[in-house]
Amino acid sequence: MSSFLPSLQSLAKGAAATAAGLSTVGFSLLYYGQNYLIYPSAFPPGSRTEVPTPDQFGLSYEKLELVAQDGVKLHCYLLQQTKDLPQPETVAVLGAEGMDDNEFAASRPTVIMFHGNGGNLGHRIPLARIFYLKMRCNVLMMCYRGYGLSEGSPCEKGIKMDSQAGLDYVTSHPALSTTPVILYGQSIGGAVSIDLASRNPLAVRALILENTFLSLPRLVPTALPVLGPFAFLCHQKWDSAAKLPLVPRRVPLLMLSGVLDEVVPREHMLGLWELVRRREGADEASPTKGEPAGACPAPEGSLSRYVEFGNGTHNDTCVQPGYWASIAEFIQAIEQEDARKAGEGQAPHL
C-alpha cells in the first residue's frame, strides 16, 4: 500500500501539471492569439491576394486608397451613382430629370459597407450591386486593415480608425458630403457600424445591422466554448451593448436576424433590439426565444425595425426571402421622412 502512494502522488502532480499547462495554453491562446481567431482575414484561402473587382460584375467603380489616421493604407471601392446606368435591372428614380451625374449622386443616399470577419470586400460585391442598382445608392465598400489588399494587421483600435477614414472620405467628398449616410454592417461589421455611429452622431443617418453581437467577450462562450472560461481575457471588446445607447434617437436602426444563426445566438440581436426600444421609449418586452418576431417595429413614430428570418443562418441571412425588401422599405422610409422635413423647412438629417 505504501509503495502505491508515491504513484498516486505522482499521478496527482502530473494531473495538476497538465491542468496548469492546459490553463496556460488557454490563457495564451485567447490573450495573445485572439486576433487570429477573431480576424481570420486569410480565410477562405486566397482572400489576402485574390480580390474581385466590381467591373467583374458589370459595375463601374473607382478604386480608392484611403489612409487611416495612423498611416495604414486601405484598399476600398466607390460606386458613385450616375443618372443613367446601362444594366437592365436598374431601378429608375423619379425627379432626376434635369440633373447631371454629380447632382444625381448628391441626391441619393450613401451606404458604407462594413463586412464580416472572413473574406474581403470583393466577396460582398453582389450585395453592393443590389444597393447600387435596385436602390440607387452610392456605395463605399470598405476593406479593413489586414484584409484583402489593405495594409496592416487587424485589431479593434485599428479597424475603428479604418471606419473613421471611410466616413471622413464621404463627408468631405464634393458630391457625397450632403447625402444621408447609412452604415451597413454584417456580423463584426455591425459592431464597427455601431461604434462609428456612436462617435459621429451627427454624420450618420441610419444603421442596417445583420447578425451582430452584444460584445465579443459575451460571444466567446458560445462561439468558442472551449475558451469560455477565459472570456475575461478577451481584449478585443467591440462592446456594442455599451455603444448603442450613445447613438441618438434620430438615427433609426434596421436589425436583420437569422433565427438559426449558429455563430451569433439570436439572444444577442434581441438584446441589442431591446436597447433600441428602451432608447425610443418602448414599454413592451421584445420577442423571446421560441416566439418569432417576424417584423417588429419600434414605438409609433420611429423608423427603427427588427426583422427575423426563420431559416437564416449566420452566412445566408442575406439571401432569405424578404431580406432586401426590408432594406428597400427602410431606406425608402428614410427618404420620405427627409423629404417631408425638407418640405417643412427642417434640416432633413436632424
The whole-angstrom separation of Cα 190 and Cα 184 is: 7
261 is catalytic: yes
Place of cell 423571446: 288
The predicted model gives 54-65 an average pLDDT of: 98
Mean pLDDT over all residues of the chain? 88
Q: Which amino acid is at 198?
A: S
The whole-angstrom separation of Cα 108 and Cα 293 is: 31
268, 327: one domain:
yes
pLDDT value, residue 10: 40
27, 171: one domain:
no
Residue 350 falls inside a structural domain: no
31, 124: one domain:
no
- Displacement of CA 290 from its chain's centroid (Å): 25
Task: For the chain, give the number of residues.
Answer: 350
pLDDT value, residue 101: 97
The active-site residue out of 123, 235, 302, 314 is 314
Confidence category of residue 206, pLDDT binned at 50, 70, 90: very high
* Strand pairing category for 138-141 and 73-79: antiparallel
CB–CB of 196/168 below 8 Å? no
The whole-angstrom separation of Cα 182 and Cα 227 is: 35
12, 59: one domain:
no
Residue 349 falls inside a structural domain: no
187 is catalytic: yes
Residue 348 falls inside a structural domain: no
Residue 278 falls inside a structural domain: yes
Beta bridge partners of 78: 62, 140
30, 147: one domain:
no
pLDDT value, residue 283: 58
- pLDDT of 244 > 60? The answer is yes
pLDDT value, residue 307: 97
Q: Regarding predicted confidence, which is higher, 284 or 335?
A: 335
The cell numbers describing 34, all together, are 485572439
Residue 6 falls inside a structural domain: yes
300, 334: one domain:
yes
33, 57: one domain:
no
* Residue-wise DSSP of 151-167: -S---HHHHHHHHHHHH
How does pLDDT run across 91-106, given as a tens digit for each residue? Answer: 999 999 999 999 999 9
pLDDT value, residue 5: 40
pLDDT value, residue 220: 86
pLDDT value, residue 12: 35
228, 326: one domain:
yes
Q: Regarding predicted confidence, which is higher, 228 or 75?
A: 75
Residue 229 falls inside a structural domain: yes
Residue 202 falls inside a structural domain: yes
- pLDDT of 1 > 70? The answer is no
Cβ neighbourhood burial of 37 (10 Å; 0-12, 13-18, 19+) = middle
Q: What is the CATH number of the domain that holds 87?
A: 3.40.50.1820
26, 120: one domain:
no
- Displacement of CA 105 from its chain's centroid (Å): 24
The active-site residue out of 261, 268, 286, 349 is 261
The active-site residue out of 41, 107, 187, 215 is 187
The predicted model gives 200-225 an average pLDDT of: 92
23 is catalytic: no
- Looking at the structure of the chain, the number of domains it has is 2
- pLDDT of 11 > 80? The answer is no
Confidence category of residue 32, pLDDT binned at 50, 70, 90: low
Cβ neighbourhood burial of 29 (10 Å; 0-12, 13-18, 19+) = middle
pLDDT value, residue 285: 47
Residue 221 falls inside a structural domain: yes
pLDDT value, residue 50: 97
Domain span including residue 19: 1-38
3, 68: one domain:
no
Confidence category of residue 28, pLDDT binned at 50, 70, 90: low
pLDDT value, residue 18: 30
260, 131: one domain:
yes
Confidence category of residue 24, pLDDT binned at 50, 70, 90: very low
Confidence category of residue 16, pLDDT binned at 50, 70, 90: very low
277, 160: one domain:
yes
Which sign, positive or negative, has the C-alpha torsion 289, 295, 300, 302? positive
* Beta-sheet strand order (sheet of 138-141): 62-67, 73-79, 138-141, 110-114, 181-186, 206-210, 253-258, 305-309, 295-297
Q: Regarding predicted confidence, which is higher, 23 or 217?
A: 217
